[in-house]
């Protein structure tokens, strides 16, 4: 584009319109560049959130910047905020981006950009293959549910494909409520067509005619982008249809059966399983319920083959995981890498330790239901089975870092409180256990019969873990017990108890 006043080509500046960039002031920066006569393209975020708002001019990045930095940058005096070539930044070059291959590079709602970067290749391939071959490709890839449960996606698809029903459904779980996670949001805001393509491939594989994307109401930008993207590519995915549904502030609706009830217009209460949603899901029909990241991984798998995806990773954790570095971390953002990377590499080498500069005391992996892990266990590899063996979970791969000012008894109390606030109320261990848990931890914090009350918490945790219907009540003991076991001194217990 040329500037009509000077006849010179306009400078093109790329700035993200992802919610994290917007929250850091990207709109004001974009407006300043427009005012200075530049052509501004709003693209997805590279995922280097500590550098947002990040402006990219001819491949060179400037960030984090404010509108006040714009004149200097355009005058060639932006060295203080210059990070060099964005694509060559170590945070980017160390990643293995399959799902996030377009991050930072394309305009989220541009069909032109999407097609030019391999978009729709997976769907075309799928349509030429036939349903059984698609399911086999996904099984071969080793892709497991990225929402946290880690169930093999291809097996779930095979079950739905083999089931009989008058209508089958693809439900995308975009109720990303775990603190420390934002990868689903980044996919929906940065590369919405990829998610739609993944859903269309799933629909073709199992014979589904209708799909829903259930997005939490806390994500207005993701909702708007998904609605616009679905409208823009309606013909491309026809006769399959997708509808966006908006949640209403209930964390438990991230649990798949609760989500299905919510889609049906009911209270978001958990359903007992069986029947599996794959056989009797939405409106009692066979339903694929997959997380955003699971479905978003599918186009790459179809266009490159299941074996190519399975080349990444270790053991039974194959492919890549978009890890989210969050909380008190210096270099927070989205880091996609093959399974097998250690927690220490992610937190210290890549994340740069804490943002506060103080020592790391604990990291919580997997959201509010994930265990707190001390630095002594930072050699733990990112692998579903290795984490399970350490009484921890990968969950949705959010890593929330805390420095040494955190009080673990307070975090254990918060875990119980969160469970009490968000419990759907259907089963007793979760509904009542969480409230009794708060009261008991309060007594521990007040110094009342500490050893007895800790025993009571252990007992309660067992009941919640084995007696709850879903992961909310069942996994709340993970943060609680890990806090007690690794930091007994924060509960007024002697340190030596940790070894027992």
Partner 1 sequence: MEPILARHRATQDSLLPILHDVQAEFGHISEDAIRTIAEALNLTRAEVYGVVSFYHDFRSQPDPRPAIKICRAEACQARGIEALMPAIEAAAGARVRVETTYCLGLCSVGPAAMIGKDVHARLTEGSVGDLVNSL
Q: Which residues bind partner 1 (CB under 8 A)?
A: 19-20, 22-24, 49-50, 52, 176-182, 184-185, 217-221, 245-251, 262-269, 283, 324-329, 332-333, 355, 364, 368, 398, 400-403, 406, 411, 414, 418, 421-422, 424
Instruction: Report DSSP letters for 434-497, one per residue.
Output: HHHHHHHHHHHHTTSSHHHHHHHHHHHHHHHHHH-SSHHHHHTHHHHHHHHHH-GGGGT--GGG
Q: How far is the CB of 430 from partner 1 (least distance, A)?
A: 15
CB 94 within 8 A of CB 337: yes
Q: How is residue 34 written in tokens? A: 């427009």
Q: How far is the CB of 369 from partner 1 (least distance, A)?
A: 11
CB 153 within 8 A of CB 140: no
304: left (phi over 0), alpha (psi -120 to 50) or beta: alpha
Of the pair 146, 185, the CB lying nearest partner 1 is at 185
Of the pair 179, 377, the CB lying nearest partner 1 is at 179
Of the pair 86, 411, the CB lying nearest partner 1 is at 411
Q: How far is the CB of 163 from partner 1 (least distance, A)?
A: 21
Buried/exposed 30-51: b ≥16 CB within 10 Å, e otherwise: bebbeeeebebbbbbbbbbbbb
Q: How far is the CB of 344 from partner 1 (least distance, A)?
A: 18
| One-letter-per-residue 3-state SS of 212-225 | EEEECCCCHHHHHH
Work out the number of other CB atoms within 10 angstroms of the CB of residue 167: 14
Closest Cα partner for 21 from 104, 122, 79? 104
Of the pair 119, 473, the CB lying nearest partner 1 is at 473
Q: How far is the CB of 219 from partner 1 (least distance, A)?
A: 6
Query: What is the distance between the alpha carbons of residues 126 and 171, in angstroms, rounded to a whole number?
Result: 19
Q: How far is the CB of 422 from partner 1 (least distance, A)?
A: 8
Of the pair 177, 474, the CB lying nearest partner 1 is at 177
Q: Phi and psi for 205 in degrees, rounded to 5?
A: -70, -35
CA distances from 174 to 144, 189, 247, 417 (A): 16, 12, 9, 24
Of the pair 205, 392, the CB lying nearest partner 1 is at 392
Of the pair 10, 245, the CB lying nearest partner 1 is at 245
Q: How far is the CB of 83 from partner 1 (least distance, A)?
A: 17
Query: What is the distance between the alpha carbons of residues 464 and 432, in angstroms, rounded to a whole number?
Result: 10
Of the pair 214, 309, the CB lying nearest partner 1 is at 214
Q: How is residue 198 written in tokens? A: 């993944």
Q: How far is the CB of 108 from partner 1 (least distance, A)?
A: 16
Q: How far is the CB of 179 from partner 1 (least distance, A)?
A: 3
Of the pair 18, 56, the CB lying nearest partner 1 is at 18
Q: Phi and psi for 325 in degrees, rounded to 5?
A: -95, 115
Query: What is the distance between the alpha carbons of residues 336 and 101, in angstroms, rounded to a whole number?
Result: 9
């Amino acid at each position: 584009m040329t500037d009509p006043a000077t006849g010179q080509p306009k400078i093109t500046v790329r700035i993200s319109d992802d919610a994290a960039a917007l929250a850091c002031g990207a709109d004001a920066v974009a407006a300043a560049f427009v005012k200075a006569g530049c052509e501004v393209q709003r693209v997805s975020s590279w995922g280097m959130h500590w550098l947002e708002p990040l402006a990219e001019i001819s491949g060179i990045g400037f960030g984090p910047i404010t509108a006040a930095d714009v004149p200097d940058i355009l005058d060639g005096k932006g060295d203080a905020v210059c990070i060099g070539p964005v694509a060559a930044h170590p945070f980017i070059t160390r990643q293995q981006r399959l799902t996030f291959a377009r991050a930072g590079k394309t305009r989220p709602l541009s069909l032109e950009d999407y097609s030019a970067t391999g978009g729709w290749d997976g769907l075309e391939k799928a349509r030429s293959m036939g349903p059984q071959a698609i399911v086999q490709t996904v099984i071969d890839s080793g892709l497991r549910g990225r929402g946290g449960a880690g169930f093999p996606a291809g097996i779930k698809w095979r079950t739905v494909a083999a089931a009989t029903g008058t209508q089958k459904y693809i439900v995308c779980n975009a109720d990303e409520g775990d603190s420390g996670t934002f990868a689903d949001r980044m996919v929906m805001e940065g590369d919405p067509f990829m998610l739609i393509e993944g859903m269309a491939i799933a629909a073709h594989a199992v014979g589904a005619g209708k799909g829903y994307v259930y997005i939490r109401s806390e994500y207005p930008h993701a909702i708007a982008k998904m609605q616009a993207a679905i409208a823009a590519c309606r013909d491309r995915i026809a006769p399959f249809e997708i509808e966006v549904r908006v949640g209403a502030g209930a964390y438990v609706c991230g649990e798949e059966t609760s989500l299905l009830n919510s889609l049906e217009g009911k209270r978001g209460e958990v359903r007992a399983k069986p029947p599996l949603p794959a056989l009797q899901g939405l409106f009692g029909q066979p339903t694929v319920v997959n997380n955003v990241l699971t479905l978003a991984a599918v186009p790459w798998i179809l266009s490159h083959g299941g074996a190519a995806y399975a080349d990444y990773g270790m053991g039974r954790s194959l492919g890549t995981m978009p890890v989210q570095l969050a909380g008190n971390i210096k270099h927070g953002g989205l880091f996609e890498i093959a399974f097998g990377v250690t927690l220490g590499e992610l937190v210290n080498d890549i994340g740069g330790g804490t943002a506060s500069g103080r020592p790391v005391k604990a990291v919580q992996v997997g959201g509010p239901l994930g265990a707190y892990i001390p630095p002594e266990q930072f050699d733990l590899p990112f692998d579903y089975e290795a984490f399970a063996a350490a009484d921890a979970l990968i969950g949705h791969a959010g890593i929330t870092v805390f420095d040494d000012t955190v009080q673990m008894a307070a975090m254990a109390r918060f875990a119980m409180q969160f469970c009490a606030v968000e419990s759907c109320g259907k089963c007793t261990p979760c509904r009542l256990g969480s409230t009794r848990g708060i009261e008991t931890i309060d007594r521990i914090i007040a110094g009342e019969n500490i050893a007895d009350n800790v025993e009571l918490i252990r007992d309660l945790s067992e009941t919640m873990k084995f007696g709850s219907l879903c992961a909310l009540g069942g996994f709340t003991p993970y943060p609680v017990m890990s806090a007690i076991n690794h930091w007994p001194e924060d509960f007024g217990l002697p340190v030596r108890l940790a070894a027992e």
